[in-house]
Every structure is written in C-alpha cells, then in structure tokens.
Amino acid sequence: MNWKRKDLLGIRDLSKEEIVFILDTAESFKEISKREIKKVPTLRGKTVITLFYEPSTRTRTSFEIAAKRLSADTINISSSTSSSTKGESLKDTARNLESMRPDAIVIRHGMPGAPHMLAGILDSSIINGGDGSHEHPTQALLDLFTMRDKKGRIEGLKVAIVGDIAHSRVARSNIFSLKNFGNEVICCGPPTMIPPHIETLGVKVEYDLKKAVKKADVIMMLRIQKERGGTSYIPSTKEYATLYGLTKNHIDMAADDVIVMHPGPMNRGIEIADDVADGPSSVILDQVENGVAVRMAVLYLLIGGEA
Ligand code: CP
C-alpha cells in the first residue's frame, strides 16, 4: 500500500486496509526493541515534537522512545512548562513551533478537535495523542495489534468494553475500529456513563457486568475519567467497584482464552482487582510494549517518506 496521509487524527478515518497496513508495519518494527542496540537510522534528520496539554505516562513516553529508536530528534513540551501558562493560544504556540521546522507534532489536548485544527493550519504531520473524550487513535491501533498478537485475529471477536464509556476517547476509538472489522462490541457501565444512542454505532449495551463478560474473547476495562467529571455520574466509588469492578469470578464466565486489556492508568480495586490486573489473562503490559512498535510505524508512515 502507498501511504498518502499527512496526519493521523482519528481511527474513524482509516479503512480496514490502512489499519492492517499500519499493524503489519508495526510488526516489522517490534523486533528493533528487542535488539541490544535499539536504534535504526530510518528517521535520521527528522524532528518530532510532543505537545501535551494533559498528563500522560504511556503515550508521550512511547512516542518519544519510538521516535528515538528510529533516530529522529525529539522535543517534549508539556503545557505546565510552556508559554501557554502565560496566555499563549494553542494556535500561536503551534505556529511558533512550526517555525522551527519539525516534521511531526504529537498533540494531546482536552479540547476535542484540537489536532484537527492544527492539521488545517500547519504543514507538519499532526498526530492525535488524545483529544478530550473524542479519539485516541494510536491507543486503538495498539489495542488491535495486541488482540491480533494474542488471539490471532481482529475479526469475529466478542469484545466487552466496561466503564466510563461516555467520557472515554479510548472507548470511542476502539468502537470505531472494532466495528470496522465487524466485531461484536458490548458497552457496559452505569446508565449515566453510557452515552444515549450509542447503539447507532453498532454496539450493544449491557448494564450487568456478568452478562457483558459472558463468553467474551476480550474484556477492556476503563477507568472513571475524574478529569472530565466522571465521579459525579455515580453515587459512590465503592458502589461502582462492587457493580463494575472486574474480579476473578468474571474471568471464569468469559471465554477460556479471554484476554483482559486496560489502556492505563489503572485504578486497582476500583475497575479492576489486583489478581486480574496481574493475572494470566492480563495483557496490559503487552499493550504498553506494543505501543512503541505501533507508534514507530505511525511515525515512519507519516514522515518517513521514500527513505
Ligand atoms: N493509555 C494512555 O493514553 O495512557 P497515558 O495517559 O499514560 O498516555
């Protein structure tokens, strides 16, 4: 496939063929991280800026590691230490950064559509590292990569997505990609955390966790998005944990070879029990490992050019 995109703004925009192409490219990059010298010259001379207006451990770090393993130069900017604290707008910040001729800007912002706005005004490739409760495309890509790696396929799976669906960009991006591949997706959580009319995206809704995970091939747990007011949608965290916390009992109801996923950060004892998070069904750290290969693939395909 001839990759022609300038930006990666959402997984909803990507065809099945494009997604498989990214995953296959990531597969070829995964081995580099296992070498003693974890570096190839593929993106030598390229510059990648990560511009994060929200906290991150996994996404920001793995983009930086991915860029460095491909020999790109990386600069990390977080809003708390940038001139946005002095009142500079996102548009002005972005235009100033563009003047220094980066090749790609990875942006995380609380405002849905912020990456799309930048993509419209900048020549640099823009990668959405999470925009509000809208999309988190590289998370969905690494989740698909992990499912394909562990289950041998990304079609014909029964996937239960459990938690604060309403505020989750991870849920939204995964729903788009999983439905694109014709999977059965069940969204489960308290009624206040399930967006109205979500069935129009082709998913089923289930309020009972035991029913949602029955014979599931994949259980994807989400945390309550406190930063988007998630806790005000439930009577108490204790009640939430009782009704929607994943325990060993739920694993026994799922498919024998179920995998448990979580994008992180986890709130142990709330949405997931310790012995599940660290148990044999958990692929949570595999997701993190695969995130590096997937982000290497995304950077390579967007800014690698013919080289
Ligand atoms: N999954 C994810 O986006 O994690 P971070 O917030 O740590 O980047």
Residue-wise pLDDT tens digits, 14-60 = 999 999 999 999 999 999 999 999 999 999 999 999 999 999 999 99
pLDDT tens readout for residues 127-176: 999 999 999 999 999 999 999 999 999 999 999 999 999 999 999 999 99
Q: Which atom from ligand 1 is nearest to the alpha carbon of 57?
A: 7
Report the alpha-carbon distance of residue 135 to residue 173 in Å, rounded: 5
Q: Between the CA atoms of 17, 23, 27 and 30, what dihedral angle is there, to the nearest 10 degrees?
A: 160
Q: CA–CA distance from 229 to each of 133, 167, 273, 286 (Å)?
A: 12, 9, 23, 29
Ligand 1 site residues (CB inside 6 A) read: 56-59, 130, 139, 263-265
CA-nearest residue, atom 4 of ligand 1: 58
In the numeric block, the tokens 């989400």 are attached to 222
58 C-alpha to center of ligand 1: Å? 5
291 C-alpha to center of ligand 1: Å? 10
Q: What pTM, to 2 d.p., does this model score?
A: 0.96
The reported pLDDT for the residue numbered 232 is: 87
Contact (CB, 8 A) for 139 and 283: no
User: Could you tell me the domains of the chain?
Assistant: 11-135+288-303 (3.40.50.1370), 137-285 (3.40.50.1370)
SS3 45: coil
The reported pLDDT for the residue numbered 306 is: 59
Contact (CB, 8 A) for 224 and 166: no
Q: Which two tokens stand for residue 188?
A: 């489960």
Give me the amino acid identity at 32: I
38 C-alpha to center of ligand 1: Å? 23
292 C-alpha to center of ligand 1: Å? 13
Report the alpha-carbon distance of residue 260 to residue 216 in Å, rounded: 10
Q: CA–CA distance from 215 to each of 149, 152, 258, 259 (Å)?
A: 20, 17, 8, 11
CA-nearest residue, atom 6 of ligand 1: 56
